[in-house]
Structure 1
């Protein structure tokens, strides 16, 4: 009886433990999908800023011919364009409701040219006038069509003497500005982005990446034989993988190429923000470099640095980079701080096998998977919406509202560094410099702390200027007064002594 009783007690205790711990385990599993890096470089689980709302496969889209190795995805208004590369066609999709996608038309040919079909189209962009630009990779051209699919013109291999005459022009990714100037990434061209004027004239290369090399290799190469030099690595710029033009006309360009160690130590910038001159103006004030994952081990069968294959940017200057190595998305703010990281490789919804393209509609994210031949829709959670609201309010000058929104973010995750920094920045703009200093100090934000301290010191001087003047005057006048008093007293005493002497005293 005693043994049976003990067994029942132990079984009951185990059942209670399972019931209590199971929700905790589930919660931890859910939170580990999203994370950030703290000041010390440690991974901190974070609430999900995005949730996988739906995955649209070929069947979901109602396609008779399944997608095959799609490479490009572009969002324009409420429309989504997919480059179905393996089937040599473009899919135009409408989004009538938040959870619905409908195919509007399939574009596999156009009018007005002899060669009026595509071969391995890999990217597409739509201008403000509605003209369609297609990277027709297999046909070695960039096509420009009107909205009714009439041929307008094409952009071909640049007429540049520095290019190898045998090089086959293969444009893979492109972007266009408001004047319909074309910027493209082409395989085998590492001189930067290829730029064309709106009339098709080649305008040069933009934003070539800096060449990195080791000085010992450089010196050794000077003394090496021709055969030895042929076996050594050449010092050449890194080729871009993709680009995105934001609402202000700046180009975000990403590359996954480069040695993992060079990427980790910051000698290779895998994300660049190019102005009209091709100069990199990306702000990198974050605690860690903008490289995706900081740790590059071989866990789960994947090794090396994050490989950024695409990027998109919201109107509030938060940009999201797509890592095709580990299937993750990394969002950064305009200062270079990591906002959130989420995703991974796998077969479940919200995970990927080989993500190749990303774009956004408002704050919703669409990710195209080449192997799954599917589009994954991510929508912001309450946590993500609060972050975006706080940033938007700050950008619009509503600093008190931004502070309150950041406090709501902090209530959802007390370890979220950006919430503390966001509150500090909002207080800084409200001229509560002492309060701002406290929040910056909590998250070791030295740069912003210095700004707040400088203003706090200035404000303190202005608020206490009268007292300061009084103290300064007192410091100088009191000794003078004492000295003057002593002198007068001495003169009086001397006069009295002289008087006594004259009177025979």
Structure 2
């Protein structure tokens, strides 16, 4: 008796602490951070949701909740709670008052450790009666209707354990049941209790190590390895359009799926929720946004109807003392007011979160955006921008609205701010079309002018320049550069011309400077549709190093390996020929950059083709120059190049390890110096 009183007192104290710590909207800081995840790197923003209320059994004039496992909210905002430890299901009304209980009477509907509940639009209540290994159906008044036990079917494996934990029922009366400890997916059962197949199973995920084991292990060795099982479906939900959402644990991607009637995931791409370890439940609101709950981190991810994560908030603690912090979150649901209800299995309570002013604005605007009502969403996005100018989705929405209102340049500006290459490309296509229509005659005259300038000015000027007499160094440099142009189209003959010659250092310097110049041109001049970056944040030294350091490493590795393998080329010849092999990069990059500024993404195949042609051409020149300069045959040349590439990898591993050890040594002496000086 004393123990019971102490336990009740402790529960009341915890309740009091939580109620006191529930912040009012927009007031005291919440105990968790909210992040906007719509860009590559999520960053902290103001709260989208804040704690609004805490619900315990004491508030309902009934026995306190005990290890509750599942939540379900109906269209009229009635809340159903699977109160597992008390062997019952509670129904609350929209004002958090107890309406009735299910399964606590001594009849056929008596429940044993229920872990899931679902209510149809007609009011029929289905409960996953986990302890009794069945599903029970009740009337809206709580009367027992029937039970669904393990179906008898030749297609159901004999070793399959029917232990229902979560479930949904679609508009046809078909049950989709998640069973504990199974990997076959949802068990599908018709209204008569007949097995109709498995649904939505996860594929088994294999690592590189697993593939290597299959390649090299014997059958006996493989038989001793643990079987690779697919991830388990932890929960299931049904949206207004009839799509089935599953939350999955034990998987590295696709933690949440949106399945059609055929079991096909409608989310495109990976739909990965980074840093979420165990997504135990998912809830879908009336605008098709879904909310994923992570049991390990306590994080709640707010995701778009397309599966993209937009926001994340939440926190977990072993002994939470503040509303908004979870101990062991088990289930999540959302009502018609967009309030989030989160069930805490360890704290035996439900926490309710409501939207802030900012959260309401951004979610309303996002809902219009994903419905395609871009112009209607404009006022909401403008409100969002006033509250936070770092939400790139706001600029995408404003860009689409401007494009629909035929303000193309404004749309392009918004897309640039949001780094939306696809949207920018669409707006640029309209801008380009309008420009051609308005300036067709000017463009045609400009093309004619360029031809006339080349025909009657540049060509005669080139002939005059070629006929003049220059100092020997300049003449040699010009001749060597001309050989470089010849080499591009006649690699073997061109490199044979260079072999054994001492080329002009002026020509080599011109080629290297030209390569550096076009590298900078590529970094800063590529059209936004093909290079959606902030030009002010480009690291010039790093960009040049990424291009020239591998090239220089190749020169060293190629010379060292070829020397060991009796190659004939000297270091000077290797360096000279490697410089000349850069000429395709110079020649191709200029038209690629120009085209990237006049083409849209749908026409990007031309840019991609030229880019691949450039790299293939360069690779061919490097291959041929190694063969010619060192006088290798084809097979030997292939081996030498592969060894050189391996040498490059070894060189860089050595450099990285040496740098790391040197830094650690420096840090050791620096920390030692600081400690000595501080103690002194």
TM-score normalised per structure 1: 0.76
Measured at CA, do residues 437 and 149 of structure 1 come closer, stay the same or move farther in structure 2, by a change above 3 Å? same
In structure 2, the partner of 1:74 is 72
Change beyond 3 A, Cα 1:350–1:382? same
Counterpart in the other structure of 1:165: 158
1:320 is matched with which residue: 274, 284, 291?
291
CA contact under 8 A between 1:242 and 1:253: conserved in structure 2?
yes
User: Closer, same or farther in 2 for the Cα pair 1:230/1:406, shift >3 Å?
Assistant: same
**Contact persistence 1:284–1:335 (CA under 8 A):** no
Deviations 1:168-206 (A, max 9, x none): 311111111122211111113212211122222211111
Shift in CA distance, 429/138, structure 1 to aligned 2, threshold 3 Å: farther
Aligned length: 421
Instruction: Report which of the two structures shows the higher radius of gyration computed on alpha carbons.
Output: 2
Residue of structure 1 equivalent to 2:328: 354
Distance 1:335 1:440 in 2: 19
In the alignment, is the contact (CA less than 8 A) between 1:72 and 1:356 conserved in 2? Answer: yes
Residue 309 (structure 1) shift: 0.5
- Per residue, is there more helix in 1 or in 2? 2
Find 1:436's aligned residue among 411, 432, 448.
411
Contact 1:316–1:391 (8 Å) recurs in 2: no
Unaligned runs of 5+ in 2: 1-25, 452-680
Does 2:445 correspond to 1:450? no
Query: Post-superposition shift, 1:414?
Result: 1.7
Does the residue aligned with 1:439 lie in a helix, a strand or coil? helix
State the shift of 1:207 in Å: 1.6
What is residue 19 of structure 1 aligned with on the other side? none
Q: Which residue in 2 is equivalent to 1:290?
A: 272
* Contact 1:211-1:237 at 8 Å conserved across structures: yes
**Structure 1: gaps of 5 or more residues:** 1-25, 294-304, 480-505
CA shift in 2, pair 1:360/1:474, >3 Å: closer
Look up the match of 2:168. Answer: 175
What is the DSSP-based 3-state SS (H/G/I as helix, E as strand, rest coil) of the residue aligned with 1:255?
A: strand
Per-residue deviation, 1:425 = 2.9
Higher strand share: 1
The CA distance in 1 between the partners of 2:429 and 2:226, in whole Å, is 49
1:415 equivalent in alignment to 2:386: no
Distance in 2, matches of 1:406 and 1:30, equals 25
Aligned to 2:58, the other structure's residue is in SS state helix
Give the alignment of 1:44-83 within 5 angstroms: 44-63=43-62, 65-76=63-74, 77-83=76-82
1:5-47 CA-partner distances (Å, limit 9, x unpaired): xxxxxxxxxxxxxxxxxxxxx9996596211246342x41111
Hey, what does 1:280 align to over in structure 2? 265
Which range moved further: 344-353 or 195-204? 195-204
CA contact (8 A) 1:61 1:103 kept: yes
Equivalent-residue separation in structure 1 for 2:221 and 2:447 (angstroms):
77
Distance 2:32 2:348 in 1: 26
CA separation of 1:189 and 1:430: change in aligned 2, threshold 3 A:
farther
User: CA, structure 1 residues 396+191, in 2 after alignment: closer, same or farther (shift >3 Å)?
Assistant: closer
Q: 1:141 aligns to what?
A: 134
Q: Distance in 1 between matches of 2:156 and 2:195?
A: 13
Quote how far apart the aligned CAs of 1:225 are.
4.7
Change (3 A) 1:451 1:210: farther
Matched with 2:469 is none
Match of 1:468 in 2: 440
Contact (CA 8 Å) 1:82, 1:90: kept in 2 or not?
A: yes
Note the C-alpha offset of 1:226: 5.4
Matched, 1:186 2:179: yes
Aligned partners of 1:85 and 1:27: how far apart in 2?
Answer: 35
Alignment CA distance shift 1:39-1:31 (3 Å)? farther
Partners of 2:89 and 2:30 in 1: CA distance:
36
Counterpart-to-counterpart distance in 1, 2:281 and 2:122? 25
Cα pair 2:297 2:316 within 8 Å, conserved = yes
1:455 deviation in Å? 3.7
Residues 365 and 89 of structure 1: is their aligned pair in 2 closer, same or farther, counting only changes over 3 Å?
same
SS at match of 1:409: helix
Residue in 1 that maps onto 2:34: 34
3-state SS of the aligned residue for 1:95? Answer: coil
What TM-score does the superposition give when structure 2 sets the normalisation length? 0.57
Contact 1:330–1:342 (Cα < 8 Å) also in 2 = yes
Q: Deviations over 1:125-184 (max 9, x none)?
A: 111222111111111111122223333333222445565424431111111112221111
Q: What SS does the corresponding residue of 2:288 show, helix, strand or coil? A: coil
